[in-house]
Every structure is written in C-alpha cells, then in structure tokens.
Amino acid sequence: MCLAVPMKLLDIARNGFGTAELDGVTHSVDLSLIDQPAAGDYVIVHAGFAIEKLDTEEAEARIDLFGELAESGRT
C-alpha cells in the first residue's frame, strides 16, 4: 500500500524541486506535476512527487487524520 502525504513547501529551487516539511522532517520534492507551486503551499506528496495542491484547511484536516491514525495504532 502506498500513501500520499500532505506536506508544506518551504522553498523552491530553480531545478524544479522544492523542500517540503511535515512534523519537522524535510524532503526534497519534485514539483513538475503541479502548476505554479509557491513556498507556503500545502501539497500532497507521493513517491517524491508533489501531485496536488491543497488549501490550508484541507491540509491541516488531513494531517490531523494521519495523527489520529498513528495514535490509534499505538498500544
């Protein structure tokens, strides 16, 4: 099973990549599949590619859901 994770873009490089962050962890992300990415945008990241932009409210709701799922798996 694969997951696509909402992350916040911190910066964008000239080579079409950017740095995205979730919970203090950063990753290099290929931005070639989305239109007009900007620092501060939330994007869905799958296999190192940003595949969709999200508005802040939706991104935060999804991040909260991932947090709830992680907590429910702890015993």
- Domains of the chain, by residue range, sit at 5-72
pLDDT, one tens digit per residue, over 26-56 is 999 999 999 999 999 999 999 999 999 999 9
**End-to-end alpha carbon distance in the chain:** 22
What is the maximum alpha-carbon separation in the chain? Answer: 45
Is 63's pLDDT higher than 70? Answer: yes
The mean per-residue pLDDT over the stretch 14-29 comes to: 95
Element (H, E) at 45: strand 42-46
The dihedrals phi and psi of 66, each to the nearest 5 degrees, come to -60, -40
Among the CATH numbers 3.30.2350.10, 2.30.30.140, 3.40.30.10, 3.30.70.260, which is that of 5-72? 2.30.30.140
